[in-house]
Amino acid sequence: MSRIKDLYLCKNIDDLEKKSEIPDVRDRKMKIRLIRLLETARKLIAEAEKHDLLGDEEMAYVFYTKYFSLLNIIYKKKDYNESKPMIRQMLGDNRSNKMTMDRLEMLTKSLNERYDRLHAKTLPQITKVNLNASINQERSRSNSPKVIEGNGLPSSLRLMSSQELYESMKTLKVLIMDCRPAEDYKSSHLNYSLAFNVPQELIQYGMSAGKLQDKLDPESKKLWSARAIKDQVVLMDWSCSDPNPPEGSAIAVLLNILQNWDPDVTYRSPIKILEGGYEYFKMVYPFMCTNPMVQAPSTPQNNMNLIDDIEYPSVFDIQMKDEILSTTNTATSPIRPIIDRSSKMAAIQTYKEKEKAIDEIVKEQEVLLEKAQENDEELQKVAKQWNRIYEKKQLDPADQEILYKMMQLESVAEDYKLDNIRLREELEEYKRREQESATRLPQQTQEVVEKTKEIEAKIEERLRRDEQLEREKEQRAIQLAIARENKKMFQTRQMEKQQAEQEQLDREPSPTPPPPAAPEVIPTKPSVPQFDRSVKPQLTAHNQQQQPQRPQSPNIYALQERKRDFSPVRGSVPLMFDSIVVLVIMIIAGVKIQLPATTTYRYKSPFRPVKKGRGLTGLKNLGNTCYMNSILQCLSNTPQLAEYCITDKYKNYISRNNKTKGQIVEEVAALIKVLWNGNYKCVASKDLRYVIGQYQKMFRGIEQQDSHEFLTILMDWLHSDLQTLTVPEYPREPMTASDKAWLDFTKAKESLILHLFYGQIKSIVKCTTCDQESATYECFSNLSLELPENNNICQLSQCLDMYFSGERISGWNCPACKQKRDAIKKLNISKLPPVLVIHLKRFYADTDSLSPTYKKKQNYLRFPLENLNMSPYITISESRRSTSKSYELYAVSNHYGSMESGHYTAFCKSGTYNKWFKFDDQMVTPQDESTVVSSAAYILFYTRLAPSQYIMESNSSRL
């Protein structure tokens, strides 16, 4: 921000308030004035922020105040609830406005201090003498030192003694606001006509004076309105004697509202606080109280620990899910800027902006058509190979790779199709703006029209090509279904044949039995389990309780000592693009090159070989284990976890007292070490798969499983295997509800997995009748988000908005109303994990079909590679933490195909090379960053940690 400018506009805050007044538009209809009011509000906040950055506090104050005055008018409109989605879209939510209010409060405080300092320099000498005498008189009242505020006045002057209040009450020129609880006020209060109750239950952070007034009863509203005409306003509670009441107390919040959020009223004198509160006043002047024998509560009325628990003062502050769906599932055109067309220069500038827009569409279309054509050619080649093999009864690994390749190319083709449709919609929007334009430049407009027609022609041509590809895809789907049926029939006949042969052997007379020998233990072949997605484990429950009892298995220490079978394949890992370029240049230049077969080189600078391959090792497919390979590669490319395993730090924290006895983390660590040694093209995860199969049957067979389910169970296993870090003792002060829930979940034992991947959700239920709020806390290792129903293309922010929006529930037992009420449930994140894993619910149950089946949503989800901001979805307490709220993508688990036949891959950004790679079972290839976002994305891995930050931000000394 620039240097703060000198005061020049006004002499005090009151004068600034007058400059901040806006015309009264409350008698206008909402539907007529809404767009204009919102546009005006946006301009006001933009001007305020501009002057704030320039250091002009006075002008920033004026525009901020005008903004909130206009906002208050909008909120009071009858049609406000119907227009909330549009208002939030243009002006932001309550949280962003709260940040703006905080900034205005800081400006108010700063300006008050500066005005007071300015006046202190120009006060006559006699005034200074009188002021000093007043200060000395105040100091003589008590031996305790008084706090001196920034304006040069002692804060004790804010207090009013009981005697002073009694004398002022005789003149009927003092208004008294009693902010004790309503029940306490009814039991005893001042016997004074200008005293009224502002119940403690109604006073909440984030309220304006107008909003608080709306909640008062009719009689109190009349007295509230007198605050502008009385000489003095005095606040009191039970016992406050502090001129600066504790932050969060009812009297402090009320004082803040009256001083900073009451723009319509100019107080005749500074607001005072009754010293000693009602408890001391009734002792001195009992005849002025309705019941002087009442006793003050023995416990404090203001629980400071509960202030952060109140996330939403009113149910109207909660954004509802149906509001988001109404804007998500309908095509809403963006609000167009108002253009001044009164001058020719403005018209020319507008044209130039449009010409730039049409040129951008042209360039984007050229790139899209080129990439789509390349994908078409590759798809045609693979489709020809598929046509030659699909009738085979058994597909060998090479045939299976052809099938997987075809699924991926079909998915990419679908993404290009959606991009082409998006371009058509953008072009239609552009044409619509052109038709509404009042100014025409004939020659230039003709050029734009020709470009538009050319783009339209190419779009339509590409759409016809996409329709042809869709028909071919449907034909291949039929072939695939036939192939699957043939395979089942072939396997059935094979099993029947084996059974018949066995029965034949059983009918033959058995030969003379040989002498008895030592029995040989033959491991039984595990049966192929059927995967039922309807019993998928809950994300937030600790899966240790859901896991079956561990069967008898070999001794764990013997398992450690035996040599693991990774079946490694030696060879070169993929060369980087710049390495290939350098090698080509060297060959053209006649430089002789000879590279060892098992070593890969990359040239960072010309003629300088560097060994490569760390973290770029593939994983063999052991029979539909691509789901497992995808997740393991994502975890292997989590730098903090990889470093923990490679350096053997994990060995110091293995727990042998859990069900898995530390075996899971040992096998995962051993595999990650091999993936990062840089010596192999691919390896097999046989030992890890065997151990996992001992504890979960579904991962034992050769059937395809769900990568999200595997990840959720694996996370709990790894946490359990490393859950040995003792949590330090909490202080004796009461813990927050969030900390207590976290301690209950961890059982006072934590792990690196917990510190990296686990967060906490706060679930809020709020009564629609009395605004009573109840909160519970639950831990999670990943967020599972719904995808919009009717959108082919959607944004990750839309999915997050839906997940963290409010939902209506009925029959909730309200603890305040003591009966069943309608309520609103809302989720927020109370603890953000350093590594945020987001699962997209692509698979859903099709209830329309005769038999229960699962289908897949093919939404093309747009998600950011950098700067995923989670600030809108966190609690107030979490927002106050100093940790970053912005995340960067580093891995994606992809799913191609359908429920019947699918394939998993992983896109991972290597921290070593700072480039993206595609992990497709045993194949690892460089990946263009522009292709990371696709409709195949299934699980997203984000991190807020720097690559060099290998240990958790907190508790690092214990790790």
d(CA 155, CA 157): 5
d(CA 465, CA 476): 17
Beta-carbon count within 10 A of 718 CB: 25
- Torsion region of 437: left, alpha or beta (phi above 0 gives left; psi -120 to 50 gives alpha): beta
Phi, then psi, of 312 in degrees rounded to 5: -130, 105
| Tokens describing residue 424 | 């058509």
3-state secondary structure (DSSP) of residue 117:
helix
Report the alpha-carbon angle 770-775-776, nearest 5.
150
**DSSP string across 63-112:** HHHHHHHHHHHHHTSTTTGGGHHHHHHHH--HHHHHHHHHHHHHHHHHHH
153 exposed, middle or buried (CB, 10 Å; 0-12, 13-18, 19+)? middle
Helix (H) or strand (E) holding 235: strand 232-236
Length, in residues, of the chain: 959
State the Rg of the chain over Cα.
Answer: 35
In Å, the largest CA–CA distance within the chain is: 129
Sign of CA dihedral 16, 22, 26, 29: negative
648 exposed, middle or buried (CB, 10 Å; 0-12, 13-18, 19+)? exposed
d(CA 449, CA 430): 11
| Tokens describing residue 309 | 């628990």
| Tokens describing residue 900 | 């019947």
Q: Where are the alpha helices (H) located in 343-439, listed in sequence order? A: 344-389, 397-436
DSSP state of 562: S
Q: Which long-range contacts (CB under 8 A, 24 or more apart) does 822-825 make?
A: 822/767, 822/768, 822/769, 823/765, 823/766, 823/767, 823/768, 824/315, 824/318, 824/320, 824/765, 824/766, 824/768, 825/763, 825/764, 825/765
Contact present, 70 and 37 (Cβ < 8 Å): yes
d(CA 943, CA 921): 24
Give me the residues paired with residue 148 across strands. Answer: 154
pTM: 0.59
**Residues marked as catalytic:** 626, 903
Phi, then psi, of 235 in degrees rounded to 5: -105, 145
| Tokens describing residue 568 | 């490694």
Phi, then psi, of 678 in degrees rounded to 5: 75, 15
pLDDT less than 50: residues of the chain? 1, 26-32, 125-156, 299-308, 330-356, 438-441, 512-561, 575-586, 588-589, 591-612, 732, 948-959
Q: At what angle do helices 277-284 and 162-171 cross, to 10 degrees?
A: 70
d(CA 474, CA 772): 55
| Residue 692 one-letter amino acid | I
d(CA 33, CA 25): 9
- Beta strands at 174-178 and 195-197: parallel, antiparallel or unpaired: parallel
d(CA 466, CA 414): 8
d(CA 385, CA 409): 14
Helix (H) or strand (E) holding 773: strand 773-780
What is the per-residue pLDDT across 667-724, written as a single tens digit (0 to 9) for each? Answer: 999 999 999 988 899 999 999 999 999 888 888 777 788 999 999 999 999 999 999 8
3-state helix, strand, coil in the chain (%, to 5): 50, 15, 35
Contact present, 184 and 50 (Cβ < 8 Å): no
CA distances from 17 to 9, 58, 511 (A): 12, 10, 109
Contact present, 112 and 57 (Cβ < 8 Å): no
